[in-house]
Amino acid sequence: MSDSLSVVIPAYNEESRLPDTLRALSDYLRGNFKEYEIIVVDDGSSDGTSAVVGTMGRELHNLTLISYPSNAGKGHATRRGVSASKGDLVLTCDADMSTPIREYEKLLPFVRDDFDIAIGSRGLRDSDIAVRQPWYRERMGRMFNAFVRALVVGGIKDTQCGFKLFKGDIARSLFKGNIIDGFAFDVEILFLAKRKGYRIKEVPIRWLNSPNSRVKIISDSLKMFGELLRIRANWLCGRYNKPA
C-alpha cells in the first residue's frame, strides 16, 4: 500500500491491553506499509500506560507517545494525536482493538475513490458483530444514536464505532475545529465534516465487544447527551464559524 498511514490511539489506563494491541498493529503495518506511524496519546492515565508505551517504543518501530498529567477526555486525546500526525491517511482506533486492524482494508477503497472519510459501523445489515455488548449497552447505544440523528447528524447509523479513516489533511483540518473533549467528539467531527461538504461512507465491519469498556453506562451517557446539546448550541450561536 503506497499511502503513508498514521494510526492514532487515545488511551486511558490501558497498560494491560496496549502491549498485545501494539504488537498486532505493528506486525500488520510493517507488512503492508513502507511509511507508517503509531501515535498513542496517554490521556492522563493513573496506571503505567506511559511506561508501557515507552518500553514498547524500544521494541517497535515508528511508535510515538504523547502524554500529559490530567485526564482531559477521549476527544481531547484524539485531537492531540491527529494534530501530531503526518500521514497521507489517518486512522483513529481504540486501545482494545475491538475492530481488528485488518478491517482497515474495507475502509481504504472508499477513501481512495470518491469519499473523504470512511467510518466503521456496527449498525449496518452486513456488520459482523462477533461478540455483542450486554443488552443494556446496546439499548443505550440505540437511544443515543436516535438523539444524534434528531439533534445533530442525520443519515448515519453508528457514529460511535472507534474505527474511522480520514484523508490526512482533512482529519487535521477537522480536528482543529473540534471543541468537544468527551466521548461525543465523534458526533462533532462528523457534523463538521458534513457542514464542510466532505463525503462520508459508512462501512460494515467486524467488531468484538471488549468487556472492560471505559464508558460508564449512566454518568457517561448523561455527559454525552449534554455534549450533543452543546454541539447544537455551538452551531446555533455560530461558534463553529470562528477560526480555530
pLDDT of residue 175: 96
pLDDT over 90 for what percent of the chain?
A: 64
Number of domains in the chain: 1
Residue-wise pLDDT for 30-83, tens only, equals 999 999 999 999 999 999 999 999 999 999 989 999 999 999 999 999 999 999
- Identify whether 107 is part of a domain: yes
Question: What is the pTM (predicted TM-score) of this model?
Answer: 0.90
- Identify whether 244 is part of a domain: no
- Identify whether 32 is part of a domain: yes
Judged by DSSP in three states, 117 sits in: strand
- Identify whether 199 is part of a domain: yes
Residue-wise pLDDT for 86-103, tens only, equals 999 999 999 999 999 999
Q: Which of 193, 1, 206 is nearest to 121 (CA)?
A: 206
Q: Which of 207, 181, 219 is nearest to 94 (CA)?
A: 207
Q: What is the DSSP letter of 93?
A: -
Alpha-carbon distance of 168 to 3, in angstroms, equals 10
Residue-wise pLDDT for 148-157, tens only, equals 887 788 889 8
List strand residue ranges (DSSP E) for the chain, in order.
Answer: 5-11, 36-43, 63-68, 89-92, 117-121, 128-131, 164-167, 200-204, 206-208
Domain that holds residue 130: 5-239
> Residue 139 burial (CB < 10 Å; 0-12/13-18/19+)?
exposed
CATH of the domain at 119: 3.90.550.10
